[in-house]
């Protein structure tokens, strides 16, 4: 008896500036959605920052609080994007156009990863950027969650395929 071939694993990297606000929350949301859909084994999911400002740090406490409020464990540890990420991941998701420009310039030609914007996966919006809540109050982190959730749902739907 032979088993059906398994679906290929997609490797997804979420990227923001310092990897303590937007990308770790997107990582946690996407992991949760994949788990709920019974698709956890289809993905390798990580997050990183365009800069190493917070390398080795846990996510911002406000990010972890909004995650907990919505039943998510935001457990990633900040790290910067490294050159190997452009070959190790199939899809790199930038939180805003500035991150995307930087990632495209760093990737150069012939790299494996496709680089897209997070909000491209939310069919209900024309906005392109996930706003950085770092310098604001708690409400900005809740807004960030409300922006990331539909985009992560759209991303999962696009990758189920």
- Please state the domain extents for the chain: 10-160
- pLDDT, position 157: 97
- pLDDT, position 46: 98
- pLDDT, position 111: 85
- pLDDT, position 9: 86
- pLDDT, position 6: 52
Percent of the chain with pLDDT over 90: 89
- C-alpha triplet 128, 136, 80: angle, nearest 5°: 65
Report, as residue numbers or ranges, the catalytic residues.
Answer: 16, 22, 132
pLDDT digits (tens, 9 = 90+) for 93-120: 999 999 999 999 999 888 888 999 999 9
E-assigned strand segments in the chain: 10-16, 43-49, 91-94, 114-117
Q: Flag whether pLDDT at 2 surpasses 60.
A: no
Mean pLDDT for 87-98 is 97
**What angle, 0 to 180 degrees and rounded to 10, lies between the N-to-C axes of helices 22-36 and 138-160?**
50
- The token pair at 107 is 């990737």
- pLDDT, position 109: 81
CATH of the structural domain 10-160, one choice from 3.10.450.50, 3.40.50.2300, 3.30.70.141, 1.20.210.10: 3.40.50.2300
pLDDT digits (tens, 9 = 90+) for 47-80: 999 999 999 999 999 999 999 999 999 999 999 9
Looking at 44-48, 61-65, 157-161, which range is the least confident one?
A: 157-161
In 3D space, the residue among 16, 28, 11 whose CA is nearest the CA of residue 95 turns out to be 16
- pLDDT, position 161: 72
Question: Do residues 29 and 72 make contact, with C-beta atoms less than 8 angstroms apart?
Answer: yes
- pLDDT, position 75: 97
Mean pLDDT for 117-142 is 96
- pLDDT, position 1: 39
- pLDDT, position 7: 60
């Amino acid at each position: 008896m032979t088993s059906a071939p398994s679906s290929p694993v997609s490797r997804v990297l979420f990227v923001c500036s310092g990897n303590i606000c937007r990308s770790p929350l997107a990582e946690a949301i996407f992991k949760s959605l994949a788990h709920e859909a019974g698709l956890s084994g289809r993905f390798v999911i990580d997050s990183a920052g365009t800069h190493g400002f917070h390398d080795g740090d846990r996510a911002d406490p406000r990010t972890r609080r909004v995650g907990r409020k919505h039943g998510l464990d935001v457990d990633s540890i900040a790290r910067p994007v490294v050159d190997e990420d452009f070959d190790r991941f199939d899809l790199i998701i930038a939180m805003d156009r500035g991150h995307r420009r930087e990632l495209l310039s760093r990737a150069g030609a012939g790299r494996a990863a496709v680089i897209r914007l997070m909000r491209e996966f939310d069919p209900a919006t024309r906005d392109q950027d996930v706003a950085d809540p770092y310098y604001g109050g708690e409400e900005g982190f809740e807004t960030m969650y409300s922006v990331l959730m539909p985009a992560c749902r759209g991303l999962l739907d696009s990758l189920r395929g």
